[in-house]
């Protein structure tokens, strides 16, 4: 055999050997264990079900930090919101204040329409036609006193008319993911047009209010407000019972029943409860029952559950092999923080695994899914999130394309 052919064969064998070493060194796809941060504590034992004496037609209890539910009953059942509507009114007004479009000291001239809202026995702030009232006073009248007149006055100040403000409310609801809610006015009184929401949507709204406007959320903890020498107490009885409760809103109509959105913070942990559709013979009993059931849910959640943030969003968890790219790997992690809610004392049983998909080809964009992270407790899945590319990697040159094509062809024919 000619010497040149022998040398060529030697070079080809060396190249083939290099390729086989590269293929063998590529991490195999499939489930890989991930470290689950956080100390473990002793097992608590049996976890009781949510309080069995809840009479609300539907309810939900969520963890504030993660937004994850701890307990629920028909949380997507559509019901009349009644005065819970005013939470959305507040969110829109708070947004306008944050944007600098209105100020707390701005004076609002009260229209006859605003003055007449709620005249037939509904809750009022007792503002007068032509009177000039500060935005902050109207907010306190709406939040603390549940004033329907104050709600209309604020809507007219923000959007020029009640109808235009309602459009803002519904646009904001869609932006927050409240897909089962529709508002027909800024106060929640029954009208010609049906309006509805769900416990899950109200919990989502309450969480957004607390998260997005911490500097304005304090109005919800005020126990009373005096305007025009008329003092009215906040109808949320939990503000008097337990100092950990600091909001949010009560609601009632004959069709809606007694509703309450409440929130409590203890030891840097916050829960939000929504109870809707409670039947009661009178307002006194209705107020007591909705407070009792909300308090029972939050006490149960605080006692028996904890929340943990296991992984930060944007942190590199893996660098999977990338083919035909300007780089041979791509940084991968989670787009959002990974939270779980679990029974108290069960942290030692948490298991986190990561599964890589693939093979992955360039170009790849930041945000493209490359795998999945899954967290289980005792074999039950607590949560899963996509593992995504944290960077964009462009396609490589012709040599990289040819080399990786050969690697992939060998791997396909001879998997290691």
Q: What is the pLDDT of residue 46?
A: 58
114: nearest Cα among 89, 91, 97, 95: 89
154-157 long-range CB contacts below 8 Å, 24 or more apart? 154/89, 154/93, 154/108, 154/186, 155/89, 155/186, 156/108, 156/111, 156/113, 156/114, 157/102, 157/106, 157/108
Residue of 58, 66, 146, 244 marked catalytic: 146
* Model pLDDT, residue 414: 63
pLDDT per 10-residue tile (average), the chain, 416 residues = 42 39 42 54 58 95 95 96 97 97 96 88 91 97 96 97 97 97 96 95 98 97 96 96 96 94 96 97 95 97 92 93 89 94 86 89 93 90 93 87 78 64
Other C-beta atoms lying within 10 Å of the C-beta of residue 361: 14
- Catalytic, 57? Answer no
24 contact partners, CB below 8 Å, separation of at least 6: 416
At residue 240, the 3 state secondary structure works out as helix
- Catalytic residue check, 111: no
Predicted pLDDT at 20: 36
At 48 the pLDDT is 74
pLDDT at 378: 83
pLDDT at 18: 42
Please give the pLDDT value at position 185. 96
Q: Is 249 annotated as a binding residue?
A: yes
Selected catalytic residue, list 66, 86, 263, 324: 86
Q: Is 86 in the active site? A: yes
| Strand ranges of the sheet holding 245-253, from the earlier edge strand across to the other edge | 69-73, 58-63, 269-278, 257-266, 245-253
| Whole-Å CA distances, 204 to 27, 48, 76, 261, 304 | 41, 25, 12, 11, 22
> Exactly one of 58, 83, 123, 263 is catalytic; which is it?
83
| CA 368/CA 319 separation, integer angstroms | 14
Q: Which CATH architecture has domain 312-413?
A: Sandwich (2.60)
What is the residue extent of each domain of the chain? 58-306, 312-413
Before 363, cis peptide (omega within 30)? yes
Distance from C-alpha of 162 to C-alpha of 169, rounded to nearest angstrom: 10
Alpha-carbon distance 297 to 62, whole Å? Answer: 10
**Cα of 48 vs its chain's centroid, Å:** 25
Superfamily of domain 58-306: DD-peptidase/beta-lactamase superfamily (3.40.710.10)
Q: Give first-to-last CA distance, the chain, whole Å.
A: 33
pTM: 0.85
């Amino acid at each position: 055999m000619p010497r040149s052919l022998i040398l060529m064969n030697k070079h080809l064998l060396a190249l083939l050997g290099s390729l086989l070493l590269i293929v063998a060194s590529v991490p195999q796809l499939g489930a890989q264990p991930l470290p689950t941060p956080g100390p473990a504590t002793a097992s608590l034992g049996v976890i009781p079900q949510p309080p069995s004496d809840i009479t609300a037609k539907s309810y939900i209890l969520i963890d504030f930090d993660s937004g994850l539910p701890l307990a629920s009953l028909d949380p997507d059942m559509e019901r009349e919101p009644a005065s819970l509507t005013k939470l959305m009114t507040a969110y829109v007004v708070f947004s306008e204040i944050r944007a600098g479009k209105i100020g707390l000291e701005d004076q609002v001239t009260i229209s006859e329409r605003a003055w007449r809202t709620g005249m037939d026995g509904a809750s009022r702030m007792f503002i007068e036609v032509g009177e000039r009232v500060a935005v902050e006073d109207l907010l306190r009248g709406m939040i603390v006193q549940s004033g329907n007149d104050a709600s209309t006055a604020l809507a007219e100040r923000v959007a020029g008319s009640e109808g235009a403000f309602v459009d803002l409310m519904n646009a904001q609801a869609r932006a927050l993911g409240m897909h089962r809610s529709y508002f027909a006015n800024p106060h929640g009184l029954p009208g010609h047009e049906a309006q509805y929401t769900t416990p899950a949507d109200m919990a989502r709204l309450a969480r957004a209010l607390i998260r997005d406007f911490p500097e304005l959320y304090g109005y919800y903890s005020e126990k009373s407000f005096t305007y025009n020498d008329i003092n009215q107490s906040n109808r949320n009885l939990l503000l008097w019972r337990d100092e950990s409760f600091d909001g949010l809103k009560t609601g009632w109509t004959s069709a809606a029943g007694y509703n309450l959105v409440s929130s409590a913070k203890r030891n840097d942990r916050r829960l939000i409860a929504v109870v809707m559709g409670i039947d009661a013979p009178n307002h006194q009993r209705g107020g007591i029952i909705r407070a009792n059931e909300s308090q029972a849910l939050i006490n149960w959640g605080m006692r028996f559950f904890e929340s943990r943030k296991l992984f930060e969003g944007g942190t590199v968890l893996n660098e999977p092999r990338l083919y035909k790219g300007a780089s041979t790997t791509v940084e991968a992690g989670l787009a959002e923080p990974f939270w779980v809610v679990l029974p108290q004392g069960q942290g030692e049983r948490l298991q986190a695994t990561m599964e890589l998909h693939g093979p992955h080809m360039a170009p790849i964009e930041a945000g493209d899914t490359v795998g999945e992270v899954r967290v289980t407790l005792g074999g039950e899945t607590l949560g899963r999130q996509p593992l995504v590319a944290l960077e964009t990697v462009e396609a490589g040159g012709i040599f990289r394309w040819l080399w990786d094509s050969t690697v992939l062809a060998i791997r396909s024919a001879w998997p290691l």
